[in-house]
Amino acid sequence: MVRQTVPPRIRWAVGAMDISSSDQLLEIGCGPGAAAEVICPRLASGKLFCIDRSESGVDRTRRRNQVFVDAGRLTVRQIDLATLRVPVRRLDKAFAFNVNLFWVRDCADEVALIHDRLVSGGKLFLFYEARMREQLPKVVGGASNALAAAGFEVSRLDSTEPPVIGIVGTKP
């Protein structure tokens, strides 16, 4: 099997999250599994739970990271965030990359679900490629407002190379 490369934007985003070996993480929209490939080797007692609405995204993530699934560090499920039920309040971090839900439509229920499942001081990271500069105010404004309305303290991360913005919600 040919080893897939991890895009620089994903490496930057994972680095920006400052993941510890014991973190309990949720990835919303895992796509091809690139973030999982970078995160899982960093986990010892921590775990990554990846969700995607797409069967192909789930399959690609699982195939790409089967060694971490087998080791118990990675769980991958085909499910929509709106129907996700995380049984306990134990997530340290949740993140999404280029997931439009958070700025395109009302996502109060989904953001509230994440807020409720994060530990105090836990963070929700929403990363977006920043190639279309004219769209950034709408993306940043919509996502920031959604997080603030749910009770998150909101901050922003920026990278010019690779061009990525991150909207970070911290649970007080």
In the chain, where the domains are located: 8-170
Q: Closest Cα to residue 93, out of 114, 68, 65, 71?
A: 114
The CATH fold of domain 8-170: Rossmann fold (3.40.50)
**Local structure of 43: helix, strand or coil:** coil
Distance separating alpha carbons of residues 93 and 130, to the nearest angstrom: 22
Residue 146 or residue 105, greater confidence? 146
Distance separating alpha carbons of residues 72 and 145, to the nearest angstrom: 36
Give the angle subtended at the CA of 46 by the CAs of 45 and 48, to the nearest 5°.
Answer: 145
Rounded to two decimals, the pTM is: 0.94
Distance separating alpha carbons of residues 155 and 34, to the nearest angstrom: 25
Q: pLDDT tens for residues 117-171?
A: 999 999 999 999 988 778 889 999 999 999 999 999 999 999 999 999 999 999 9
